[in-house]
Structure 1
Amino acid sequence: MKTSHRMLASAVAVLATAALASCGSGSEPAADGTVTLSFMTGSDQSTVDTSKALADAFMKADPTIKIDMEHQPGGSEGDNVVKTRLSTGEMTDVFWYNSGSLLQALNPAQTLVDLTGDPVLAQVQPDYLPVVSHDGKAYGVPATTMGGGGILYNRKVYERLGLEVPRTWADFMANNDTIKAAGVTPVISTFKDTWTSQIFVLADYHNVQAAVPGFAADYTAGKAKFATTPAATGGFQHLADVHAKGHLNKGFGSATLDQGLKMLVEGEGAHYAMLSQLLPPLLETYPQTATDVGYFGIPGDDPAAGGATVWEPAALYIARTTEHLDAAKKFLAFVASPAGTEAVTAAVQPSGPYRIKGSKLPEDAIQVAKDLQAYIDRGATTPALEFLSPIKGPSLEQITVAVGSGLTQPAEGAAQYDKDVEKQARQLGLAGW
């Protein structure tokens, strides 16, 4: 999603500092026979570490190809850099970018190399391909691991209070009452970083699809709305529930993501609606993150339909303007192989499973990755709506802050969001809007 780079950048407080360079490498190999690929990646620490691990391992495996890395800014600024350089023909040979709905805005048929049926994709899990595809053609390979959206929880607090992972929303609220009575903050909210307020809504999508299997298609076609679909209004109601019951931390309106993660890891708060991808950068400062923080999907009303909403990995793509197509394909094939994922695991603790055949989590994987793997093993995951529909309104985070602060009623917030997405749907030229 558009906020994904910004999220991780906020978590580790890393900003891009290097000026963007031009593509550089020409079409002819160097005098020593080597080819140099240009590779643009993100600026947050997890992405930087992952990209460097992949590049270093690949260059060791194939000394005839060198990789020059550059870093784009996070958030909307980086998004604009990618779009501008693609449109002007000045993109690097290979680049890191979102999968899912945001890919469609890159006009991939004109700007990216079509990899459909190419051996590059041979080891990519087939159910990943739709999120890097446009009009039935696939353009990318997974660059990192899958992440889970839902509730990160402090396992030590649960153990001390004798609590079990809740199977329904009512169970979750009952746990919160017990936690509050014990003098611990039940639910951490960090509305200073406004994007964090969206997770209760975005990560509730597994429950929406379980109740209304055709919601994504009908939503995209302008037929289904959040405000008129009770299951889709549920995420807004969750925000209101935890506020109304006094389950939030003091000063939640001015609290930051970093403060929220610290509260969770240190056991000052028991639950945090958040993304699992944010945890690996904490391990150096808070090694207990690996074992003390667990994950579960946002519970719904039907315990039999419980599951997790997942964020598919970002991808690596090849710009159509590359003059080193063979070398670029070799790099992507390495990224999309067990050797590539092993190189990443050695540098960055995975926050979830890889999307590569034959790649497995290490035995010492952090607990949230193991918890997410358990959902996958039992077939109880659903991609977030942004991987199933190109529509995501720009004002959701402002709306969810208001609902989560008790200023706006859940039904009103859902209706506001329905209005928010109309302009974007029309800009995309979607039928039914």
Structure 2
Amino acid sequence: MRKHTSSRHHLRVIALAAGAALALAGCSAGSLGSSGDGDGVSLTFLVGSNQSRVNAAQSVAEAFMAANAGITVDVETRPSGSEGDNIVKTRLATGDMADVFVYNSGSLFQAIGPEQNLTPLTDQPWVGSVEENSQRVVSAGDQVYGAPFGPQLTGAILYNKKIYADLGLEVPRTWDAFMQNNAAIKAAGIDPVIQTYGDTYTSQLFVLGDFHNVASAEPDFAERYTAGQAKFATSPAALKGWQHLQELHDLGYYNEDFPTAKMEEGMRKLGEAEGAHYPMLTNGIPALAQASPEGAKEIGIFPIPGDDPAKNGLTVWSPDGVYIPKTTEGEKLDAAKKLVAFIASPAGCDAQSAGAMPTGPYAVDGCTLPADVLPATTDFQSYIDAGTYSPALEFLSPIKGPALEQITVEVGSGIRPAADGAALYDDDVRKQALQLGLDGWQ
């Protein structure tokens, strides 16, 4: 394990006069208990290194400090993907975790031992304002351990609307229609599907984002999967995501530099119409806006298509959680709880939006989206409004194998056949289930 060397973004804000500070934070004096409470307390706040996430965290820290004289918040960053996961787990295990940190919700949250490592927040007043599923995915036993940070996400296909208009294509509602579109796009000399395996986590979307289709075909899949009865390699519905990953590679539909390209480059290609489709989580939309500001206005989103057009819908991820480790104590703990309460408030949502344009709806009552969100976010909202979506598997089951992104890279690169990749992932899932001590596994 490499020694952790996170970069620091030191945020020092001189406290404003009380009235000006409260106006900046958009809240009343009673909502945060600012005044002089917590004088001289300094908090570290650890977030992933995605620039939009860092910007949102910095904006939150600035607004919070302006409303809480005497509390300083230093934003630290860590890498994304498996390296970042290892850093979080190592720092928790060694008692070296930041005072407050952002990490996954759902199954990966369960893997960091919340009952052993985190401070329960069930008794905090803001808990009741959090959307029910977003409470559930940061809970263990009968305790809530986190608040949502950032908007809800979807794993879907970002697409270039200009390419679609120029080629006379319609948004596909089935996989066959999607493949017909890809053939037409390839014939026009444009890369049909962008992949960016230089960031290995981006390789997972054709599998993870397909879960709405799996749940539509096998409504009890998540329950049977958790009980060790359903497998990716033996479920016809769950195997299709792996087959799609291989099929698109074998047909030469990926960009030539897919083994090394990174997410930001994929977003640039999409915005500049060098590629038509990019399966990705919507938390990448801010990178799209930065890489191709004008092109971002031409990008929409549609679900990964399945077999039945009547069941077409999105797979949705709950937001990450913001947590307090048990190593945060005394005055720091009181200040940390204030920071988490601020994040789980409309003022906190507004601060996040000021730092980074949101890419989906927030999961806190009273939070609203800015009027100038990008078209892809508006498309996302339309599926939420219509109720045509399902939670991602990792929010219905505590199991997600840690090697998924490495295996999907192999399948998407033509190194391993889809069926073998699915079977290998089933074995990875089994190891995780045994570590969690789940019933039905051996």
Structure 1 length as normaliser, TM-score? 0.87
2:55 pairs with 1:49: yes
The aligned amino acid for 2:282 is: S
Q: Which residue of 2 aligns with 1:17?
A: 7
Q: 2:344 aligns with which of 336, 339, 360?
A: 336
Question: Separation in 1 of the partners of 2:112 and 2:90?
Answer: 10
Q: CA deviation at 1:231?
A: 0.5
Q: Is the Cα–Cα contact under 8 Å of residues 352 and 368 in structure 1 kept in the other structure? A: no
2:355 pairs with 1:347: yes
Secondary structure of 1:122's counterpart equals helix
Q: CA deviation at 1:19?
A: 11
Identity of aligned residues (%): 54
Question: Separation in 2 of the partners of 1:192 and 1:68?
Answer: 30
The aligned amino acid for 1:214 is: D
Secondary structure of 1:279's counterpart equals helix
The aligned amino acid for 2:68 is: D
Q: Which residue of 1 aligns with 2:215?
A: 209
Q: CA deviation at 1:209?
A: 1.1
Q: Deviations over 1:217-250 (max 9, x none)?
A: 2112111111111110010121133234332333
Question: Separation in 2 of the partners of 1:82 and 1:189?
Answer: 27
Q: Which residue of 1 aligns with 2:427?
A: 419
Q: Which residue of 2 aligns with 1:12?
A: none
Structure 2 length as normaliser, TM-score? 0.86
Q: 1:341 to 1:109 in 2, by over 3 A?
A: same
Question: Separation in 2 of the partners of 1:73 and 1:181?
Answer: 38
Q: 1:382 aligns with which of 359, 369, 390?
A: 390
2:215 pairs with 1:225: no
Q: Which residue of 2 aligns with 1:248?
A: 254
Question: Separation in 1 of the partners of 2:198 and 2:206?
Answer: 16
Q: 1:65 to 1:120 in 2, by over 3 A?
A: farther
Q: Which moved more, 1:251-260 or 1:285-294?
A: 251-260
Q: 2:128 aligns with which of 122, 127, 130?
A: 122
Q: Which residue of 1 aligns with 2:24?
A: none
Question: Separation in 2 of the partners of 1:411 and 1:79?
Answer: 27
Q: Which residue of 2 aligns with 1:137?
A: 143
Q: Is the Cα–Cα contact under 8 Å of residues 271 and 296 in structure 2 kept in the other structure? A: no
Q: Is the Cα–Cα contact under 8 Å of residues 105 and 319 in structure 2 kept in the other structure? A: yes
Q: Which residue of 1 aligns with 2:305?
A: 299
Secondary structure of 2:330's counterpart equals coil
Q: Is the Cα–Cα contact under 8 Å of residues 146 and 311 in structure 1 kept in the other structure? A: yes
Q: Which moved more, 1:78-87 or 1:359-368?
A: 78-87
Q: Deviations over 1:149-191 (max 9, x none)?
A: 1111111111212222111111111111222222222112233
Q: Which moved more, 1:418-427 or 1:165-174?
A: 418-427
Q: Which moved more, 1:174-183 or 1:184-193?
A: 184-193
The aligned amino acid for 1:83 is: K
Q: Which residue of 2 aligns with 1:189?
A: 195
Q: CA deviation at 1:253?
A: 3.6
For structure 2, which runs of at least 5 residues remain unmatched after alignment?
Answer: 11-34
Secondary structure of 2:112's counterpart equals coil
The aligned amino acid for 1:388 is: L
Question: Separation in 1 of the partners of 2:414 and 2:427?
Answer: 20
Q: 1:149 to 1:193 in 2, by over 3 A?
A: same
The aligned amino acid for 1:349 is: M
Question: Separation in 2 of the partners of 1:150 and 1:363?
Answer: 22
Secondary structure of 1:217's counterpart equals helix
Question: Separation in 2 of the partners of 1:104 and 1:146?
Answer: 19
Question: Separation in 2 of the partners of 1:401 and 1:109?
Answer: 33
Question: Separation in 2 of the partners of 1:247 and 1:259?
Answer: 17
Q: 1:76 to 1:418 in 2, by over 3 A?
A: closer
Question: Separation in 2 of the partners of 1:66 and 1:184?
Answer: 50
Q: Is the Cα–Cα contact under 8 Å of residues 290 and 365 in structure 1 kept in the other structure? A: no
Secondary structure of 2:360's counterpart equals coil
Q: 1:358 aligns with which of 366, 370, 389?
A: 366
Q: Which residue of 1 aligns with 2:173?
A: 167
Q: 1:145 to 1:173 in 2, by over 3 A?
A: same
Question: Separation in 2 of the partners of 1:91 and 1:143?
Answer: 18
2:330 pairs with 1:323: yes
Q: Is the Cα–Cα contact under 8 Å of residues 200 and 273 in structure 1 kept in the other structure? A: yes
Question: Separation in 2 of the partners of 1:71 and 1:191?
Answer: 22
Q: Is the Cα–Cα contact under 8 Å of residues 37 and 68 in structure 2 kept in the other structure? A: no
Q: Deviations over 1:359-400 (max 9, x none)?
A: 222111012211111111111222222222232223333432
2:420 pairs with 1:430: no
The aligned amino acid for 2:330 is: E
Q: Is the Cα–Cα contact under 8 Å of residues 93 and 323 in structure 1 kept in the other structure? A: no
Q: Is the Cα–Cα contact under 8 Å of residues 126 and 345 in structure 2 kept in the other structure? A: no
The aligned amino acid for 2:229 is: K
Q: 2:85 aligns with which of 73, 79, 85?
A: 79
Q: Is the Cα–Cα contact under 8 Å of residues 297 and 307 in structure 1 kept in the other structure? A: yes
Q: Which moved more, 1:116-125 or 1:263-272?
A: 116-125
Q: Which residue of 2 aligns with 1:403?
A: 411
Question: Separation in 1 of the partners of 2:387 and 2:340?
Answer: 28
The aligned amino acid for 2:360 is: G
Q: Deviations over 1:312-337 (max 9, x none)?
A: 21111122332133332222121111
The aligned amino acid for 1:17 is: S
Secondary structure of 1:277's counterpart equals helix
Q: CA deviation at 1:31?
A: 11
Q: Which moved more, 1:164-173 or 1:396-405?
A: 396-405
Q: 1:318 to 1:165 in 2, by over 3 A?
A: same
Q: 1:340 to 1:249 in 2, by over 3 A?
A: same
Q: Is the Cα–Cα contact under 8 Å of residues 236 and 410 in structure 1 kept in the other structure? A: yes
